[in-house]
């Protein structure tokens, strides 16, 4: 019989007997939730990175640093589960909007925005007297029922697109005609970034807290664009990494693997999985592409250091206000590192040129430039884990999670499995709050027993946790993981891994352990039925679908102009031909 349930019951009893409130005090804690975007497992300094992130590292040192925390393979489903504690298929956002199958749109759980069956953390806490503020990326809908202002947030300045430029008010993809910024219920049609996005969003959040009620606890969400495409950062941060990445992505991938083992983040037996065949070889890369790759990686490092700087600035402000000691801080990434090389798409390259974006390495990262790291650097960011964003490999779904503040013991590394749906019930427990009745129940579990040192984990060895997003699927149970990654860098085959020995998913055990494989498949099918997964059609390829939507958006916006240019070219060619024939006569 598994001892997991017994341990959880005993931990719960111990807590109820020893604590007057879950926050370990009579005062409800403030909660600061920092959401990073597209950050790999080993991108933060505390996780073995060469990137300077001293403020987040300090939080890890005085709190809990999770090494086995999981999210969805992409942003919107993760954010839906983070905000609600419910499985993404119950929230209305089971996948990215660009990957929705049209015939599924509108079915329960597939509404395309945060539905009203679930409640957000802010709504739950609002009923307990909390005020709530959010700045940055939301990406959960922009209707009158889905915006943060309708979901428990008193003030909000949010982006409901998947991303945006960090220096100007403009979109980063042809899929959007504009960057969808909103303040409370009103669209922000124009505004000027007087500062870089991380600075701007931090300033706005500080302003909201400052204008709030000093006698009420707050939930504050800082949802930064670091390190989403376009990768951009002030020169003062980027230049600190000049020459650091000249050795290439293979060298960095191995360096990160060794650092993760030395820090105890993964077992010593962890090996790197074989790279997908489509990834480029560093040594054979043309010089110009290598220069852009190095410069892009330097900007990505600067972008993350800048994010850490502004997180530190916010923490410093809270300390100056006398509020930091009573503020629970939670930091996580919404998924693994971004792998896309958008300029592989001809239409996208033309769109970039028409927008005036530059990829000049001399000032890459600054205003008017457009950078990205691609799958090779993304693999290094996730190292020693396999794959990256949009895929079910650990590199796409295992990310940093740091928690520190009142009620959190200095736990150091926490290796027990945890999932993004666990955050919401944890925050409610820490605040001594009850979930609102009549809403979709949370599927996650409170991590409070872990944070207070009462338990090493909240899931027993026989308890399964499932995940699905557009065919990218996984099931974790004890040390075992069942996974299927779809194209572009997966093949749609189910594989079995023992993560306690093989965190890098280098050895598929599906044939060596047929009984475990069959049992895990059965548990996964039960998960699909329980949460309402609608399988994707055979041959579904998320990248091809996104690219097709990009082509359509490009021609919808510029089709007439391109047709006119085409006619002009034909006329010029025709006129030239007539002139040549006339002269020959």
Q: In 3D, which of 23, 82, 48 has the Cα closest to residue 380?
A: 48
More confident: 2 or 487: 487
Q: In 3D, which of 139, 557, 566 has the Cα closest to residue 355?
A: 557
Confidence class for position 267, pLDDT limits 50, 70, 90: very high
Looking at residue 277, what is its pLDDT? 94
What digits encode the pLDDT tens for the residues 419-476? 999 999 999 999 999 999 989 999 999 999 999 999 999 999 999 999 999 999 999 9
What digits encode the pLDDT tens for the residues 10-20? 433 333 333 33
Structure tokens that stand for 146 in this block: 């889905």
Omega prior to 384 cis, within 30 of 0:
yes
**Average pLDDT for residues 160-167, to the nearest whole number?**
94
Looking at residue 134, what is its pLDDT? 98
Confidence class for position 349, pLDDT limits 50, 70, 90: confident
Q: Which of 70, 75, 110, 228 is catalytic?
A: 75
Looking at residue 9, what is its pLDDT? 40
Looking at residue 539, what is its pLDDT? 72
Question: Percent of the chain scored above 70 by pLDDT?
Answer: 87
Distance between CA atoms of 514 and 509, rounded to whole angstroms?
8
Give me the chain's average pLDDT, please. 90
User: Cα dihedral angle (406, 410, 416, 422), rounded to 10 degrees?
Assistant: 10
- Mean pLDDT is lowest, of 104-113, 432-441, 523-532, 557-566, for 557-566
Looking at residue 538, what is its pLDDT? 75
Looking at residue 19, what is its pLDDT? 36
What digits encode the pLDDT tens for the residues 462-517? 999 999 999 999 999 999 999 999 999 999 999 999 999 999 999 999 999 999 99
Is the pLDDT at 564 greater than 80? The verdict is no
Confidence class for position 101, pLDDT limits 50, 70, 90: confident
Handedness of CA 211, 319, 39, 386 (dihedral sign): negative
**Average pLDDT for residues 518-546, to the nearest whole number?**
86
Whether 139 is a known active-site residue: answer yes
Give the β-pairing of 181-183 and 186-187: antiparallel
Is the pLDDT at 21 greater than 60? The verdict is no
More confident: 84 or 20: 84
Is the pLDDT at 581 greater than 60? The verdict is no
DSSP letters spanning 77-130: HHHHHHHHSS-HHHHT-SS-GGG--GGGTTSTT-SSS--TTS--HHHHHHTTT-
Question: Percent of the chain scored above 90 by pLDDT?
Answer: 78
Handedness of CA 97, 99, 101, 107 (dihedral sign): negative
Alpha helices in 333-391 (DSSP H): 346-355, 374-382
Looking at residue 135, what is its pLDDT? 98
Is the pLDDT at 575 greater than 70? The verdict is no
The dihedrals phi and psi of 523, each to the nearest 5 degrees, come to: -65, -35
Instruction: Give 36's strand partners.
Output: 333
Looking at residue 5, what is its pLDDT? 42
pTM higher than the cut 0.75: yes
What digits encode the pLDDT tens for the residues 522-534? 999 999 999 999 9
Q: Tokens 């290598």 sit at which residue? A: 290
Confidence class for position 96, pLDDT limits 50, 70, 90: confident
Q: Which of 70, 139, 310, 489 is catalytic?
A: 139
What digits encode the pLDDT tens for the residues 354-368? 899 999 999 999 999
Distance between CA atoms of 437 and 569, rounded to whole angstroms?
65
Instruction: Print the SS3 string covering 5-51.
Output: HHHHHHHHHHHHHHCCCCCCCCCCCEEEEEEECCCCCCCCHHHCCCC
Number of Cβ within 10 Å of residue 259's Cβ equals 18
Contact residues for 336 (Cβ-Cβ < 8 A; gap 6+): 38, 39, 40, 41, 73, 378, 381, 382, 385, 387, 388, 389, 391, 395, 396, 397, 398, 399
CB–CB of 446/422 below 8 Å? yes
Q: How would you class 313 by CB atoms within 10 Å of its CB: exposed for 0-12, middle for 13-18, buried for 19 or more?
A: middle
- Mean pLDDT is lowest, of 22-31, 288-297, 400-409, for 22-31
What digits encode the pLDDT tens for the residues 191-228? 765 679 999 999 999 999 999 999 999 999 999 999 99
């Amino acid at each position: 019989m598994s001892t997991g349930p017994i341990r959880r019951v005993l931990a719960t009893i111990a807590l109820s007997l020893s604590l007057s409130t879950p926050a370990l005090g009579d005062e409800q804690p403030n909660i600061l939730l920092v959401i990073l975007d597209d950050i790999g497992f080993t991108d933060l300094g505390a996780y073995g990175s060469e990137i300077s992130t001293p403020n987040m590292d300090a939080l890890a040192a005085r709190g809990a640093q999770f090494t086995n925390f999981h999210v969805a393979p992409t942003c919107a489903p993760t954010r839906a589960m983070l905000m609600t504690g419910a499985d993404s298929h119950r929230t209305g956002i089971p996948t990215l909007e660009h990957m929705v199958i049209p015939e599924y749109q509108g079915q329960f759980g597939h509404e395309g925005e945060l539905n009203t069956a679930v409640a957000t953390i802010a709504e739950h806490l609002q009923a307990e007297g909390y005020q709530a503020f959010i700045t940055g990326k939301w990406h959960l809908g922009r209707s009158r029922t889905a915006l943060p202002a309708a979901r428990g947030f008193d003030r909000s300045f949010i982006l409901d697109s998947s991303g945006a430029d960090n220096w100007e008010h403009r979109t980063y993809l042809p899929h959007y005609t504009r960057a969808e910024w909103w303040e409370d219920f009103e669209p922000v049609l124009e505004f000027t970034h007087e500062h870089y996005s991380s600075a701007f969003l931090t300033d706005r959040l500080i302003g909201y807290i400052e204008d709030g009620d000093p006698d009420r606890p707050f939930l504050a969400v800082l949802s930064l664009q670091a390190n989403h495409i376009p990768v951009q950062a002030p020169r003062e941060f980027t230049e600190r990494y000049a020459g650091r990445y000249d050795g290439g992505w293979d060298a960095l991938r191995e360096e990160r693997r060794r650092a993760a083992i030395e820090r105890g983040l993964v077992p010593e037996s962890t090996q790197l999985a074989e790279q997908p065949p489509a990834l480029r070889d560093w040594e054979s890369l043309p010089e110009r592409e290598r220069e852009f790759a190095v410069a892009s990686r330097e900007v990505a490092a600067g972008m993350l250091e800048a994010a850490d700087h502004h997180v530190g600035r916010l923490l410093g402000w809270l300390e100056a206000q006398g509020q930091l000691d009573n503020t629970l801080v939670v930091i996580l990434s919404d998924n693994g590192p971004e792998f896309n090389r958008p300029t592989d798409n001809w239409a996208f390259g033309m769109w970039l040129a028409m927008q005036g974006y530059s990829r000049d390495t001399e000032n890459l990262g600054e205003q008017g430039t457009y950078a990205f790291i691609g799958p090779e650097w993304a693999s290094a960011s996730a190292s020693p884990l396999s794959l990256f964003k949009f895929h079910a490999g650990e590199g796409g779904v295992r990310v940093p999670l740091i928690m520190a503040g009142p009620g959190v013991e200095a736990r150091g590394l926490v290796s027990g499995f945890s999932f993004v749906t666990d955050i919401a019930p944890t925050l409610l427990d820490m605040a001594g709050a009850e979930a609102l009745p009549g809403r979709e129940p949370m599927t996650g579990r409170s991590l409070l027993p872990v944070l207070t040192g009462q338990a090493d984990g909240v899931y027993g060895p026989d308890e399964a946790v499932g995940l699905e997003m557009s065919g990218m699927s996984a099931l974790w149970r004890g040390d075992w993981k069942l996974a299927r990654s779809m194209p572009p860098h997966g093949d749609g085959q189910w594989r079995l891994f023992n993560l306690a020995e093989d965190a890098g998913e280098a050895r598929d055990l599906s044939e060596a352990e047929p009984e475990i494989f069959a049992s895990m498949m059965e548990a996964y099918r039960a998960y699909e039925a329980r949460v309402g997964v609608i399988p994707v059609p055979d041959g579904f390829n998320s990248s091809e679908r996104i690219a097709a939507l990009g082509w359509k958006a490009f021609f919808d916006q510029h089709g007439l102009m391109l047709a006119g240019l085409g006619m002009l070219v034909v006329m010029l060619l025709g006129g030239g031909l007539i002139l040549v024939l006339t002269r020959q006569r």
